[in-house]
C-alpha cells in the first residue's frame, strides 16, 4: 500500500479525490493498517459471463495483483531510498503496468470497471436510471467492509488508472471526464458509508 499511496496522494484531482484518499487511509487506520483483510469479492468467471463482458475485474487490476502490485508509475531513486523496508524498496524497482489508453482499451476498461463495481455493491443498493442510487446508507456493506492490500486499495487504484488513461489521451471528451467523476463520487459515497458503520 505504501507504494500506491506515494503515487495516489500526489495527484491534484480535486476535493472528492482528496476526500476518497482521506477516508481510505482512515479506514485502514481503523483496522491498524493490517495488510491482510478479507479480499473484495471476485465475480464468477463462467464462460457465459465472459461472453457478455461481466466476468471479472478490469484486466489491468488482475495483472497488477498477479504481478505483486508493482508501482503505479515509475518512482525516482531518491523516493525508493526513503521507503520503509527492503521488501518495499525491491517492489518499487519493478516496472509499472501500461495504462489502457486506446479507445478500445479504455471502453473495455470502463465497462469492466462498471460491471465489477456493481457486482461489489450490497444487495440493498438499487439502480435508478441505469445509475446506482444513493439514498440512506445501511449497515450491511457486505464484502466492501474490508481493508488491507486486498481491499479498498484495488478500488482506489482502479480509479487512478482510469483517470491516468483519460489524462494521457489527446481526444478525451467532457463526457468521459464526467463518467470518471460520477464513478469517483459513487466510490466516495460508498466508502463514507462503510466507514460510518465500521466504527
Residues counted in the chain: 199
Q: Is the pLDDT of residue 49 over 60?
A: no
CA 182 to chain centre: 14
Cβ–Cβ < 8 Å for 35, 62: no
Give the tens place of pLDDT for each residue, 67-108. 888 888 876 666 656 665 655 556 656 778 888 888 899 999
Please tell me the pTM assigned to this model.
0.86
pLDDT score recorded for residue 34: 83
Looking at mean pLDDT, say which of 47-51, 130-134, 195-199 comes out highest. 130-134
Q: What is the reported pLDDT for 4?
A: 83
Residue 23 pLDDT greater than 90, yes or no: yes
Q: Which of 177, 172, 178, 175 is nearest to 103 (CA)?
A: 172
What residues does each domain of the chain span? 2-71+100-198
Average pLDDT over residues 12-22: 96
Taking 60 as the threshold, does the pLDDT of residue 54 lie above it? Answer: no
With the CA atoms of 13, 19, 21 and 26 taken in that order, what torsion angle do they form, in degrees rounded to the nearest 10?
A: 170
For residues 74 and 97, what is the distance between their CA atoms, to the nearest angstrom? 9
pLDDT in tens, 102-129: 889 999 999 999 999 999 999 999 988 8
User: What would the mean pLDDT of 23-41 be, rounded to a whole number?
Assistant: 88
User: What is the separation of C-alpha 139 from the centre of its chain, rounded to a whole number of angstroms?
Assistant: 22
4-8, 87-91, 160-164: least confident range:
87-91
Calculate mean pLDDT across residues 147-174.
94
List b or e across 173-192, with b for residues whose CB sees 16 or more CB atoms inside 10 angstroms: eeebeebbeebbebbbebbe
Amino acid at each position: 500500500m505504501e507504494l500506491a499511496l506515494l503515487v495516489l496522494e500526489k495527484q491534484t484531482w480535486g476535493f472528492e479525490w482528496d476526500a476518497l484518499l482521506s477516508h481510505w487511509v482512515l479506514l485502514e487506520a481503523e483496522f491498524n493498517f493490517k495488510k491482510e483483510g478479507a479480499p473484495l469479492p471476485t465475480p464468477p468467471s463462467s464462460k457465459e459471463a465472459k461472453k457478455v463482458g461481466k466476468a471479472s475485474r478490469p484486466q489491468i487490476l488482475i495483472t497488477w495483483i498477479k504481478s505483486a502490485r508493482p508501482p503505479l508509475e515509475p518512482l525516482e531513486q531518491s523516493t525508493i531510498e526513503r521507503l520503509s523496508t527492503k521488501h518495499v524498496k525491491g517492489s518499487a524497482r519493478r516496472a509499472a503496468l501500461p495504462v489502457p489508453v486506446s479507445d478500445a482499451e479504455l471502453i473495455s476498461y470502463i465497462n469492466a470497471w462498471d460491471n465489477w463495481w456493481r457486482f461489489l455493491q450490497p444487495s440493498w443498493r438499487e439502480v435508478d436510471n441505469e445509475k446506482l442510487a444513493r439514498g440512506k446508507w445501511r449497515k450491511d456493506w457486505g464484502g466492501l467492509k474490508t481493508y488491507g492490500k486486498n481491499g479498498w486499495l484495488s478500488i482506489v487504484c482502479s480509479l487512478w488508472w482510469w483517470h491516468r488513461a483519460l489524462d494521457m489521451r489527446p481526444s478525451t471528451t467532457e463526457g468521459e471526464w464526467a463518467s470518471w467523476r460520477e464513478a469517483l463520487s459513487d466510490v466516495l459515497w460508498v466508502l463514507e458509508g462503510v466507514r460510518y458503520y465500521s466504527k
